[in-house]
Amino acid sequence: MAPKKSTPRFTAQSRTVLPGSEKAPIAKAEGEKPAPPATKITVSVVVRRKNPLKAANTSGKQRLTRAQYRASHAADPAAVKLVRAFAKEFGLTVEPGTPAPGHRNVKLTGTVANMQKAFGVSLMHKTLEGVTYRVREGSIDLPTELEGYVVAVLGLDNRPQAVPHFRILGEEGAVTARAAQGEGFASPHAGGAVSYTPVQVGQLYGFPQGITAANQTIGIIELGGGFRQTDITTYFKALGQKTPKVIAVSIDKGKNNPTNANSADGEVMLDIEVAAAVAQGARIVVYFAPNTDQGFIDAIAHAVHDSTYNPSVISISWGAAEVNWTTQAMNALDAACQSAAALGITITVASGDNGSSDSVNDGKNHVDFPASSPHVLGCGGTNLQGSGSTITAETVWNAQPQGGATGGGVSNFFPLPSWQSGAGVPKPTNSAGGRGVPDVAGDADPASGYNVRVDGQNLVIGGTSAVAPLWAGLIAIANQQNGKSAGFIQPAIYAAKGKVAFHDITQGNNGSFKAGPGWDACTGLGSPVAPKLISTVKPAGAPAAAAKPKKAAKKKAVKAKKKSSRALVVNKLR
């Protein structure tokens, strides 16, 4: 008996454009040819939520437990069922375990030929700057039955999506200086530059000394590079600190892959060393993913829903100008950040290192994404001068044209959030936009940079990449001190009473925008006054500080001091 043929369902339907999936053609490719049809690839199909998140969830007012989130806001079962049927009809395989609990990504694997038929695309191999990538141009066309159920399809195109926001002192016109090789760190440097250990930067901003973040996990997103345990051990020995526990997690086959100090290793080590040095005792989990829109979004989603390590704060130092993203990818990534806000997780993101243009050469202002997401803490950069716990000067980081400058400006994609409505954000050039970037700032200028160790070398590195892990470390300390994660902090820090938590940066510019009193599009609200910030971000419902143990400790200290004084007198008399 002949096998029964299945009746075409999706192949017989008319097609509709997946909103926001359009990709512009590449103007200058060195060569192109069709992608081999038999090559297998894996894509992420992001489906809608079972139920939309409420405004109270995404603004931090009403948190959800992981169980509550999964029950109401994970992948819509009806959407998953449709995608499975769609995949089967086009010869695509659903990867086992997808979507994972809490996630909305259904992973499909199949040949290029079948992917092209399924998504109505043409996949080409094009060579850009000597590297060949799989390229998709134009829109993704889906069968009409999937309309509204599928919100993004990622991974058909594997071009790099983002760049790391770090700068090594001495490169691209920065002051030529490098820390002495060996176990120690040199400061100050020749040519007027100064450098600090992350601990020294923390001291200048008033980070609590002798306080650990022992019960906290800091997640770090990396799209390349890697770390060496020997470097981490050597670095923290030089700081006089216990070596932190650093765990690598692979996303979409991304790996901890250290090579040399001129690679993305500089980003990875900067992130780890800054975060771990200022938040001593915190567990550091590094999520390595491929540098694609698919990898980036999958990594964030995994970190947000990671019930194994449960990061309370996530640091991101990668990004690209909003115009370099598709709308579907920005929406999908922002949705993952909304989930973080609902779960009480803070995400800190570097605002970029190329001033108000964000390296787009069209004569217009641009902001970096994901720093422009209204559900993350955008982190801008300063030049910091000081010693011990005293800041003598702090200005906007701007060493352009070659030396970089803090990113900042106004989003043309995300509207002005309610909590930023009174900050005086300039009007966007696009009526859809309005979200001001950054929210906060910290030391970023390579000429007042951080002493770090990368692939056996001691280097001085800056960039807003350093500010994201610095703030992540501070939030981890706050979480430990306050007994509850800070979560989504913007409403608290933008409130009038939040002003005391910042050093207001009023001098300098990043190109088109100038610093001034209050929020500005260079350094946001300013750099942290750590003790005030920790109090400001303490969420409602956090346990009150235990007064009695403090009083008892004080009495114990006084008693010990008296005993010590008596002993000293006795010794002198002997």
Point out the catalytic residue in the list 315, 351, 465, 527.
465
DSSP letters spanning 555-569 = HHHHHHHHHHHHHHH
- Residues 544-572 have pLDDT tens digits of 754 434 444 444 444 443 333 333 332 33
pLDDT average, residue stretch 158-173: 86
The string of DSSP letters for 91-154 reads T-EEPTT-SPTT--EEEEEEEHHHHHHHHT--EEEEEETTEEEEEE-B--EEEGGGBTTEEEEE
334 is an active site residue? no
**For position 557, what pLDDT does the model report?**
43
Structural element, H or E, at residue 249: strand 246-250
Q: Could you give the angle at which helices 327-342 and 293-304 cross, rounded to 10 degrees?
A: 10
% of the chain with per-residue pLDDT over 70 = 90
Statement: residue 269 has pLDDT above 90: yes
293 is catalytic: no
Q: How much is the pLDDT for 186?
A: 35
Name the CATH topology of 163-536.
Rossmann fold (3.40.50)
**pLDDT band at residue 425 under the 50/70/90 scheme:** very high
pLDDT tens, position by position, 324-375: 999 999 999 999 999 999 999 999 999 999 999 999 999 999 999 999 999 9
pTM of the model: 0.91
CB-based contact 292:326 (threshold 8 Å): no
524: β partners: 520
- pLDDT tens-place string over residues 301-332: 999 999 999 999 999 999 999 999 999 999 99
Mean pLDDT of the chain: 90
d(CA 374, CA 437): 9
The question of whether 307 is a catalytic residue gets the answer no
Percent of the chain exceeding pLDDT 90 equals 84
pLDDT, position 188: 39
Active-site residue, from 157, 222, 231, 267? 267
Is residue 129 very low, low, confident or very high in pLDDT (cuts 50, 70, 90)?
A: confident
Give the pLDDT of residue 175. 34
List 271, 306, 394, 443, catalytic entry: 271
Domain boundaries, the chain: 15-154, 163-536
- 151 pLDDT exceeds 80? yes
Residue 318 buriedness (CB in 10 A; 0-12 / 13-18 / 19+): buried
Strands (E), 357-444: 368-369, 377-387, 390-396, 409-415, 434-437, 440-443
For the stretch 122-125, contacts whose Cβ atoms lie closer than 8 Å and that sit 24 or more positions apart, written own/partner, are 122/34, 123/34, 123/35, 123/156, 124/32, 124/33, 124/34, 124/35, 125/32, 125/33, 125/34, 125/35, 125/36
- Which pLDDT score, from 0 to 100, does residue 545 have? 58
pLDDT range class, residue 210, cuts 50, 70, 90:
confident
Q: How many CB atoms lie within 10 A of CB 120?
A: 16
- Judge whether residue 54 has pLDDT over 50: yes
**pLDDT-based confidence at 410, cuts 50/70/90?**
very high
Look at residue 82 and give its three-state secondary structure: helix
- In the three-class reduction of DSSP (H, G, I as helix; E, B as strand; rest coil), residue 411 is classed as strand
Query: What value does the mean pLDDT take over residues 100-106?
Result: 96
